[in-house]
Amino acid sequence: MTDQHIIAFGGDGFYTEPENKRTAHFLLELAQTNRSNNLPRICFLPTASGDAESYVQAFYARYTPDLCEASHLYLFRREVKKLREFLLSKDVIYVGGGNTANMLAIWRVHGVEEILQEAYEAGIVLCGTSAGSLCWFECGVTDSFGLDLAPLYDGLGFIRGSSCPHYDSEERRQPQYHKFVLEGFPGGYAIDEGAAAHFVNGEFREAVSSKPDARVLLLRKEHDRLVELPLPVRFLGGTNANAIPAA
């Protein structure tokens, strides 16, 4: 059986840390385990941002030709006719941030949801930041519906439970996620900027980070109270004295 990988970033720093390529190396090394010694092929989906050109350029600034064969897929102004053939030829599919609800609706109109399911089953590494992080879960915390954070219930469901990106960088995220879980929202993963949760075959494998002290936490409701469990984090830049040691 081919391993199925999903990497959910709480925030991957395309704009804030353009020179930080630790996560790029991590993703591309995963992809290379599934193919020959050729450069891995990665495709960026900027749907959630409305196919923002600046976002695509930031992606190319990180995923440079010395590392991989990078491409992108626009859906607002389609340039690719055969979406299935195009996406299934990649080793990594990276989903950008923006409006998660709008992105999911557009994917479903164009048939991308079904193609991503097929890509997942084929062992293509699926990953993303912000909207591109929480979309893989059953549900999550989103700002898609306006200024107030709200639950989103119709994620792709490749990973059970919920997620909340930007956990440390947006002050409303933590209290709202706590509130939703206490009110019956499925528990799940709170992910800081610079951190990611890595899932293999639908199960949590490890947490990694591209900057020191970034966290991934597991949230759940127990006996009418919230339990927030910090998970071990592997710092991709080397030794991190403040990280919880991995088992």
Between residues 174 and 243, the one the model is more confident about: 174
Cα separation of 149 and 26, whole Å? 31
Portion of the chain with pLDDT greater than 70, in percent: 94
The β-bridge partners of 207 are 197, 233
Check whether domain 5-235 has CATH 3.30.43.10, yes or no: no
pLDDT at 246: 37
- Give the count of beta carbons closer than 10 Å to the beta carbon of residue 13: 19
Q: Compute the mean pLDDT over every residue in the chain, rounded to the nearest whole number.
A: 92
In this structure, the dihedral spanned by the alpha carbons of residues 108, 87, 63 and 144, taken in order and rounded to 10 degrees, is 0
Structure tokens at 88: 């299934």
In the chain, domain spans: 5-235
Out of 12-16, 138-142, 234-238, the most confident range is 138-142
| Averaged pLDDT, 213-224 | 95
Structure tokens at 124: 């293509």
pLDDT at 245: 38
Q: Where in the sequence numbering do the catalytic residues fall?
A: 130, 166
